[in-house]
């Protein structure tokens, strides 16, 4: 159970390791609060969907399992969408279409089909929380880097001096690709195992 949770946080992180569901990770990550909001929204949908899929896995006919999973995911996505629209309208305006698009996010369907539909409820919850929070910290990190370099702020608070030159590219789509590429590279360097020297002397 702990292994399933940690796997999503690091070993099989959906953004930095599996590199899936990155559309929202690249589109909304211009400010730190956007990353947190998107990460929490996806974590909620992913966890609730995995719980329901795991409970119903023996009831759902295999031939129609994907449409059933989509309906489950769409239900929880709609809950998040309406909640954000009602209580966080300003943030909802910034997030735009990407909250409703959680329904087709590869990560959610990937875990529903690849894990929750095969494993126990407890393991499914651990996996969903790990993957969701793994996505959340990854997308928040991208957001923070882009916000600091692009706007000179952190969660809306100015932290750079008056003479700081804003890296405008960081607020544009190419900036998202640059930041993500660099962070993936750093993560690969951290996790890379040293190659043993097999040459004979």
Q: What is the distance between the alpha carbons of residues 164 and 3, in angstroms, rounded to a whole number?
A: 43
DSSP-assigned letter for residue 154: E
Identify whether the C-beta of residue 132 lies closer than 8 Å to the C-beta of residue 47.
yes
Output the pLDDT for position 195. 61
Q: How many other CB atoms sit within 10 Å of the CB of residue 151?
A: 20
Considering the domain boundaries, does residue 99 fall inside one? yes
Domain that holds residue 58: 2-191
Considering the domain boundaries, does residue 197 fall inside one? no
> What's the whole-number average pLDDT of the chain?
89
- On the question of pLDDT at 105 being above 90, the answer is no
Considering the domain boundaries, does residue 134 fall inside one? yes
Return the structure tokens found at 61.
């006919």
- The radius of gyration of the chain from alpha carbons, rounded to an integer in Å, stands at 19
Q: How many other CB atoms sit within 10 Å of the CB of residue 74?
A: 17
Residue 199 binned pLDDT confidence (cut-offs 50, 70, 90): low
Residue 128 binned pLDDT confidence (cut-offs 50, 70, 90): very high
Mean pLDDT over 4-12 rounds to 88
Q: What is the distance between the alpha carbons of residues 33 and 151, in angstroms, rounded to a whole number?
A: 13
Q: What is the distance between the alpha carbons of residues 106 and 89, in angstroms, rounded to a whole number?
A: 26
Considering the domain boundaries, does residue 199 fall inside one? no
Q: How many other CB atoms sit within 10 Å of the CB of residue 42?
A: 28
Q: What is the distance between the alpha carbons of residues 173 and 191, in angstroms, rounded to a whole number?
A: 27
- The strand ranges marked E within the chain are 153-154, 157-158
Rounded to two decimals, the pTM is 0.88
Considering the domain boundaries, does residue 35 fall inside one? yes
Residue 198 binned pLDDT confidence (cut-offs 50, 70, 90): low
H/E element holding 169? none
Mean pLDDT over 43-52 rounds to 96
Each residue of 110-132: b (16+ CB within 10 Å) or e? bbbeebbbebeeebbbbbbbbbb
Mean pLDDT over 102-124 rounds to 90
- On the question of pLDDT at 97 being above 90, the answer is no
Output the pLDDT for position 194. 65
Q: How many other CB atoms sit within 10 Å of the CB of residue 32?
A: 22
Tally the domains of the chain: 1
* DSSP string covering 25-51: HHHSTTSHHHHHHHHHHHHHHHHHHHH
Output the pLDDT for position 129. 95
Start-to-end C-alpha separation, the chain: 45
């Amino acid at each position: 159970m702990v292994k399933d949770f940690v796997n999503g946080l690091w070993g099989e992180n959906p953004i930095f390791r599996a590199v899936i569901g990155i559309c929202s990770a690249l589109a909304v990550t211009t400010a730190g609060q956007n990353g947190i909001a998107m990460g929490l929204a996806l974590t909620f949908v992913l966890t609730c969907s995995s719980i329901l899929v795991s409970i119903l896995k023996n009831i759902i006919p295999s031939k129609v399992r994907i449409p059933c999973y989509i309906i489950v995911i769409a239900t929880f996505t709609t809950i998040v969408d309406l909640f954000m629209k009602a209580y966080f309208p300003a943030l909802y305006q910034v997030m735009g279409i990407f909250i409703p698009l959680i329904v087709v996010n590869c990560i959610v369907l990937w875990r529903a089909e690849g894990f929750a539909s095969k494993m126990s409820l407890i393991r499914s919850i651990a996996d969903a929380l790990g993957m969701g929070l793994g996505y959340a910290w990854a997308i928040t990190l991208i957001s923070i880097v882009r916000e600091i370099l692009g706007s000179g702020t952190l969660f809306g608070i100015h932290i750079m001096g008056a003479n700081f030159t804003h890296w405008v590219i960081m607020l544009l789509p190419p900036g998202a690709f640059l930041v993500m590429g660099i962070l993936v590279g750093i993560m690969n360097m951290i996790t890379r195992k040293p190659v043993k020297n097999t040459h004979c002397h």
